[in-house]
Homo-oligomer: A and B are copies of this chain.
Amino acid sequence: LGDDIGFFEAAEVIGMADDAARSVRTKKDSSLVRAAELVRDGRASAMISAGNTGATVASALLRMGRIKGVSRPAVAAPIPVPGSHPTTLLDAGAMAECQPGWLVQFAQMGSAYSSVRYGIESPRVGLLSIGEEAEKGTALVKETHALLVALDGIDFVGNVEGRDVMTGAVDVVVTDGFSGNVVLKTLEGGLKTIINAVAAALMSPEASAFGAEALDLLAPLAADYDPDNTGGAMLLGVEGVCLISHGSSSSTAIVNACLAVRDLIEAGVTESMRAAVSRSVKPH
């Protein structure tokens, strides 16, 4: 452990099932609240949390504050794409119900984030819907679509569907926090189910002659889909770096989150978010 790593004590704990807003208000000496304060005060460069996501969002929002002009923050989650950089999905759960203007800012911030994190010059941005046609989807999707078509500064390619999220068809998928969280957890559950089924088949007696070799060959593939290796999701729109790691994170996941945070800070991620939302007329 290097000399330059300091420790700060926190006596309280916000549990995974605690109410987000209430716990941040009442448990002021929890690590979730203290970490956000250290970032706000310039004593830490970033906070990383594998704890209660709602409380992490609330703590970062209340202690660090929103970037000027940002209506609502959003969680930008990496979706693995075989043979390519991850697709950025946002909002993955910060705001369950959204307004069109918020989604427009998610598109701006998501595009800037995809550039900073994965080095993509002009990220292709898609809006999640249930058909490619502009007239399909909810009122929220239709209004957001019209605003994004009229927006300068990002490469909006139109609506995308759930089946496009893992194919690399776009670099950024914009949606409300309910749908985004549903996508993230559906993929997580579905991939886990099929990876487990493949592993069970290859460990069965029928596969005794070749199962071990096949599993070795497929191991890197399973690693690609392991949330431990993605570096975590970032909360965009707050005045500081806040990374959200999976609730079941291993030590590898936290190390990868630290490495991601270092790169993001060096690349000026917070400055990029400020620039992204100031670039155009403020959406209504």
Task: Give A residues with C-beta under 8 Å from B.
Answer: 17, 19, 54, 82, 93, 96-97, 128, 130-131, 133, 135-139, 141, 161-167, 177-179, 181-195, 197-198, 201-202, 204, 206-207, 209-211, 213-214, 217-218, 221, 225
Contacts and interface: CB of A to CB of B under 8 A. Distances in A.
A189 B89 CA distance: 15
B185 A162 contact: yes
Nearest to A161: B185
A211 to B, nearest CB: 8
Contacts of A206: 217
Contacts of A17: 133
A220 to B, nearest CB: 8
Copies in the complex: 2
A179 B183 CA distance: 9
Majority secondary structure of chain A interface residues (helix, strand, loop or mixed): helix
23 contacts: A82-B197, A96-B136, A96-B138, A97-B138, A130-B182, A162-B182, A162-B185, A162-B188, A163-B188, A165-B189, A166-B190, A179-B182, A182-B182, A182-B183, A186-B186, A186-B187, A187-B190, A198-B198, A198-B218, A201-B217, A201-B221, A202-B218, A204-B217
